Amino acid sequence: MTEFLQHMINMLILGSTYALLGIGLTLIFGIMRVVNFAHGELYAFGAYFVYFIAVMLGFNFFLALLFAIVAGCLLGALIEFVLLRPMRGADIDTTMLIMIGAMIVMQNAEQYVWGGVAKAVNTPFPETPLTIGPFSVSWLRLFVFFAALALIAISYFLINRTKLGKAMRATFQDTDTASLMGVNIQAIYMATFAIGSALAAAAGALLGPVYVISPQMGNIASLKAFAIVILGGLGSIGGATIGGFILAFAEEMGAGYISSGYRDAMGFLIIIAVLLFKPTGLFARSERIG
């Protein structure tokens, strides 16, 4: 039982960052109908940006996290303006190829700038873990959990309680009607991609210091982000959040009770089952983002 509860603690910490990945992707996919294959590279960008600000420039670690989220937002806005906006109205195959190209360019740029050697980020947290009875968790992982929860809460507030969120939900429901009612669709698309990119960068910025940072880290992040959207259902932020925790639970159980080599496989087995029995996702919402 003690071992199981320790796995549950690890699941909560990992699932919170997975939820950030899933929310960002489901926003972009749901509102813009863009399959963002570069989502994992935005995750890697956030991790590398923290390394650049905190390690190379020597800035405060927490300030580096904030800068990484802002930089991810700006990069997302730039990608939408330069790559996606000129292709507005193009078929989905064309936009998929554009985003695959963006993914390849970003990954090779990371390889060129940072090299293939993994990077580590020092943090201000003590190395001695917090121990409560038989359970222990590092202070860094605890911070990651609460920071991710705060960002998830901000995302919910933004989508459900602000004028921008109302416009985004209207665009998701009916783009033409939203445009006729005065919604600036171009601005909403840019804001959507920027917010989704910022959440991906935030996940990378938080998890990068926990593990190591490498140019290939975006590959598995992309797969997991799509897995979370499949689990939760397209258009459901709540579903993406829960899907992130479900995927983390499957990975922890697979790694803890079968083999660490099955960590990723267990999550994708669940996805196969969902696609077979409920292909719309566990929490699909066809009528709105929220």
Q: What is the pLDDT of residue 268?
A: 77
pLDDT at 288: 52
- Tell me how many degrees the CA angle 111-114-116 measures, rounded to the nearest 5: 55
Identify the pLDDT of residue 231: 86
pLDDT of residue 61: 96
Report pLDDT for 284: 65
For residue 289, the model assigns a pLDDT of: 66
Lowest-pLDDT range, 49-53, 273-277, 278-282? Answer: 278-282
Model pLDDT, residue 285: 56
pLDDT at 249 over 80: yes
Which residue type sits at 73?
C
- 74: confidence class by pLDDT, cuts 50, 70, 90: very high
- Res 165: pLDDT: 94
Burial of 31 (0-12, 13-18, 19+ CB in 10 A): buried
In the predicted structure, residue 267 carries a pLDDT above the cut 90: no
pLDDT exceeds 70 at position 91: yes
Task: Give the rounded percent of residues in the chain with a pLDDT score beyond 70.
Answer: 97
Of 254 and 82, the structure prediction assigns the larger pLDDT to: 82
pLDDT of the residue at 270: 79
The better pLDDT of the pair 93, 286 is held by 93
Question: What confidence tier does 41 reach under pLDDT thresholds 50, 70, 90?
Answer: very high
pLDDT of residue 290: 62
- Summarised one tens digit per residue, pLDDT across range 128-139 is 988 888 888 999
Q: Which pLDDT band, with edges at 50, 70 and 90, does 65 fall under?
A: very high
Query: Per-residue pLDDT averaged across 199-227, rounded?
Result: 93
Q: What is the pTM of this model?
A: 0.93
